C-alpha cells in the first residue's frame, strides 16, 4: 500500500521481495531487535540466518552512544555515515525486515524516513514470511560492500517530539492523542518494566494500543480493518494527529506504521518513551 506522502509502498510481501531480490537498487536490511528480558541476541541471529545479501541495521549501534537511554536517535551526521557504510544510495529501494515479536523493523523504517529516505518499505511478516516461501538465506559474517552515497534530506512522513515539549503539553492538558504501544499490564503499572529503575504506569491522558494488537498470529500485520479496530479500542481517532510512545521508542514506530497504513502520517514519535519518562519526575497515572 502506498504512503499518503510517498509513492513507495509502506510494506511489501515476501513474494514481492523474492521476485525483486538482487535487482539493481534493491537493498535489504535486517533490523531485528529484542527486549532485554527475552534472552535473544539479534546479532547472533543475524549471523546464523538472514535473507541472502542483507546487511544489518543495528538500532543499538545506529544511535547516540552518549545518551543514557537505549538506542536514542543519532545525529544526522552519524546516521548518514552509518547508511553509507551499509552501501545505501539515495535512489535505493530499501527493504527492512525483522524477526522480532515487536516489529522492530518499523524503527528502521521510521528512522530512514526521518532522515529523508523516501524509498523504504517494511517486509510484512519479516523473516518468518521469507522462510515460509523458502526464500534464500545465508549465514556467517556479511560481505563487505562499497560505500554508498546516502545523504540526509528533509523528513518524509516522520516526525519526532522531545520530552520537554511533550511534558509541557501533558502538564497543560493539551497533548491531544497519545498512543502507548506497551502491553496492557505495563501501561497500567501492574507488570514490571523490563528495564530497571523505572516507575510503572503511563502518561496522563494516554491511551493504550499494544503493538501486539496490530500483529497477527503468523507475525504479519493484521488487516487494515483490524488495525483500525485496534486503535479504536484504545480510544484513538485515526484521522487526527497522534503522539506515539512505548518503552524505548521502537514499538511506537510500529504504531506510526499502522497509522500510515490507515492514511495518517501526522504522527509524532516520542523517542525517549518510557525509558525517559518513567525515570524522571514527570507526572504519571496508573490503572487502565
CA distance 155 to 248: 21
Do 110 and 137 meet the contact criterion of CB atoms below 8 Å apart?
no
Can you name the residues that pair with 208 across neighbouring β-strands?
A: 180
Cα dihedral across residues 148, 152, 157, 162: positive or negative: positive
**Catalytic annotation, residues:** 246
Structural element, H or E, at residue 44: helix 42-48
Cα dihedral across residues 15, 43, 268, 202: positive or negative: positive
Do 135 and 17 meet the contact criterion of CB atoms below 8 Å apart?
yes
Phi, psi of 123 (to 5 degrees): -75, 110
Measured between alpha carbons, how far apart are the two ends of the chain, in Å?
33
For 286, residues 6+ apart whose C-beta sits below 8 A from its C-beta are 188, 189, 200, 201, 202
Amino acid at each position: 500500500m502506498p504512503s499518503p506522502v510517498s509513492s513507495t509502498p509502506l510494506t511489501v510481501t515476501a513474494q514481492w521481495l523474492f521476485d525483486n531480490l538482487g535487482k539493481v537498487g534493491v537493498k535489504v536490511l535486517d533490523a531485528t531487535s529484542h527486549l532485554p528480558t527475552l534472552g535473544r541476541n539479534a546479532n547472533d541471529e543475524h549471523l546464523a540466518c538472514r535473507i541472502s545479501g542483507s546487511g544489518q541495521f543495528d538500532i543499538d549501534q545506529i544511535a547516540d552512544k552518549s545518551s543514557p537511554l537505549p538506542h536514542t536517535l543519532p545525529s544526522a551526521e552519524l546516521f548518514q555515515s552509518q547508511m553509507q557504510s551499509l552501501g545505501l544510495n539515495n535512489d535505493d529501494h530499501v527493504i527492512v525486515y525483522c524477526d522480532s515479536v515487536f516489529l522492530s523493523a518499523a524503527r528502521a523504517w521510521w528512522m530512514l524516513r526521518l532522515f529523508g529516505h523516501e524509498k523504504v518499505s517494511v517486509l510484512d511478516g519479516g523473516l518468518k514470511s521469507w522462510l515460509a516461501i523458502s526464500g534464500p538465506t545465508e549465514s556467517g559474517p556479511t560481505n563487505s560492500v562499497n560505500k554508498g552515497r546516502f545523504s540526509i534530506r528533509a523528513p518524509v512522513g516522520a516526525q519526532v517530539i522531545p520530552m520537554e515539549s511533550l511534558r509541557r503539553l501533558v502538564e497543560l492538558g493539551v497533548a491531544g492523542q497519545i498512543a502507548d504501544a506497551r502491553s496492557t499490564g505495563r501501561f497500567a503499572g501492574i507488570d514490571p518494566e523490563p528495564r530497571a529503575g523505572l516507575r510503572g504506569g503511563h502518561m496522563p491522558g494516554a491511551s493504550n494500543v499494544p503493538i501486539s494488537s496490530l500483529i497477527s498470529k503468523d507475525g504479519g500485520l493484521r488487516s487494515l480493518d483490524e488495525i483500525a479496530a485496534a486503535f479504536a479500542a484504545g480510544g484513538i481517532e485515526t484521522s487526527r494527529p497522534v503522539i506515539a510512545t512505548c518503552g524505548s521508542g521502537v514499538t511506537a514506530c510500529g504504531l506510526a506504521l499502522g497509522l500510515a497504513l490507515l492514511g495518517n502520517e501526522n504522527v509524532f514519535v516520542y523517542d525517549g518513551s518510557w525509558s525517559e519518562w518513567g525515570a524522571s519526575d514527570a507526572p504519571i497515572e496508573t490503572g487502565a
